[in-house]
């Protein structure tokens, strides 16, 4: 299997890189990190097809729409469809195409689809782990800047007296989405790593609020 992974990884990287724009939060480095996260999860799931996971990790953002796009929830479906066509053209094993497509389509938080296979669960967890921890924090503010969001609400950064709005205030995103990710992880290793990385975000939030006030 390792030789098969070594054979396909550079081809998948080339395919993924060709479709990327200037989004530094969803660039090739993000794909490498997602695959690295996935290898940690694969170590506890020998039953999973590593080639399916590899392909889905590198192609899950083949169609990447902005976070504030009204069609954001359709991005993973479009990415799955495009990945299937591109992989078929590269003579990727035909009996694995459906599994790759499902893993890609169900990885997205916005799509709100159930990951029905262990491969899809690993890809979903691996991608969400990259939204947590130090890198996740950097990505949070990078994306907020691209969307034109403020860092935090001027008078109530923890939203004690208002509704949270993570499109308007970057800091709100920790509680509206990121803090919920660890408990929703599909794998035990994903939950464990997710909780560890979430603590870094929460510690940062507390320091931020102390300085902001």
Q: What's the pTM?
A: 0.91
Mean pLDDT, range 129-138, rounded to an integer: 95
| Domain end call among 84, 117, 150 | 117
**Residue 124 and residue 115 in contact, taking contact as beta carbons nearer than 8 Å:** yes
Do 12 and 106 have their domain in common?
A: yes
User: Last residue of some domain: 117, 148, 169?
Assistant: 117
Tokens found for residue 97: 């195409």
Query: Is residue 93's pLDDT more than 90?
Result: yes
Q: Are residues 147 and 205 in the same domain?
A: yes
Q: Are 130 and 139 in contact (CB under 8 A)?
A: yes
Same domain, 14 and 106: yes
Confidence at 74, pLDDT banded by 50, 70, 90: confident
Residue 194 has pLDDT above 80, yes or no: yes
The residue segments making up the domain with residue 113 are 2-117
pLDDT of residue 5: 93
Show which of 90, 117, 144 is a domain's final residue.
Answer: 117
What domain count does the chain have?
2
Residues 146 and 59 in one domain: no
> What pLDDT does residue 1 have?
67
């Amino acid at each position: 299997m390792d030789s098969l992974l070594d054979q396909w990884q550079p081809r998948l990287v080339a395919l993924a890189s060709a479709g990327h724009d200037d989004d530094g939060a969803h660039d090739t480095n993000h794909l490498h990190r997602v695959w690295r996260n996935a290898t940690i999860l694969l170590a506890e799931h020998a039953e999973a097809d590593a080639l399916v996971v590899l392909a889905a990790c590198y192609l899950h953002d083949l169609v990447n729409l902005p976070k504030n796009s009204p069609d954001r929830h359709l991005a993973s479906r479009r990415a799955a469809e495009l990945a299937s066509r591109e992989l078929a053209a590269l003579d990727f094993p035909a009996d694995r195409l459906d599994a790759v497509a499902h893993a890609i389509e169900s990885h997205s938080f916005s799509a709100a689809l159930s990951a029905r296979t262990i491969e899809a669960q690993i890809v979903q967890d691996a991608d969400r782990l990259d939204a947590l921890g130090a890198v996740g924090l950097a990505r949070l503010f990078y994306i907020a800047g691209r969307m034109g969001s403020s860092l935090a609400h001027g008078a109530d950064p923890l939203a004690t007296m208002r509704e949270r709005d993570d499109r308007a205030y970057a800091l709100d995103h920790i509680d509206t989405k990121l803090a919920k990710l660890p408990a929703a992880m599909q794998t035990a290793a994903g939950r464990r790593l997710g909780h560890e990385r979430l603590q870094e975000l929460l510690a940062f939030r507390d320091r931020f609020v102390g300085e902001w006030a």
